[in-house]
Amino acid sequence: MAIEVSERAREWLKKKGGVATVRLSPRHGCCGGGADIAVAETRAPDIPERYTRLERDGLVLYIDPKLLDQGLRLDVEGFLGLSHLFVEGASPTRSKE
């Protein structure tokens, strides 16, 4: 399985349009170097052809091919109605930049 979606995240995503993108996001250190961290967003990617598209349980998920088969899990957390989607299971990788 490419990704697991919690029941809480599934319901939350359906309320937000039923689409999510899981991609790598570069983070830069203050003294040089950097890492790519997996992030989840409630939108389709700008260039969907670069992603693997999965449809399941009424959701459309776009996943960066580098993140396939890493045992990822999408979930939602928040407090007092301020919730956000997050992905866990992918270790940060050294940025190629």
Domain of 26, CATH number, reads: 2.60.300
Q: What is the mean pLDDT of residues 52-63?
A: 94
List pLDDT tens digits, range 21-43. Answer: 999 988 877 777 788 888 999 99
Question: What's the structural domain count of the chain?
Answer: 1
Range of the domain at 15: 3-94
CB 65 within 8 A of CB 72: no
Query: Is residue 68 exposed (0-12), middle (13-18) or buried (19+ Cβ within 10 Å)?
Result: middle
Query: Which pLDDT band holds residue 92 (cuts at 50, 70, 90)?
Result: low
- The mean of the pLDDT values for the chain is 87
Question: How far is CA 91 from each of CA 2, 24, 40, 55, 71, rounded to the nearest angstrom?
Answer: 15, 11, 14, 25, 11
The SS3 assignment for 56 reads strand
**Stated pTM of the model:** 0.84
In order of 9, 37, 67, 81, 92, the CA distances from 70 in angstroms are 19, 13, 6, 30, 12
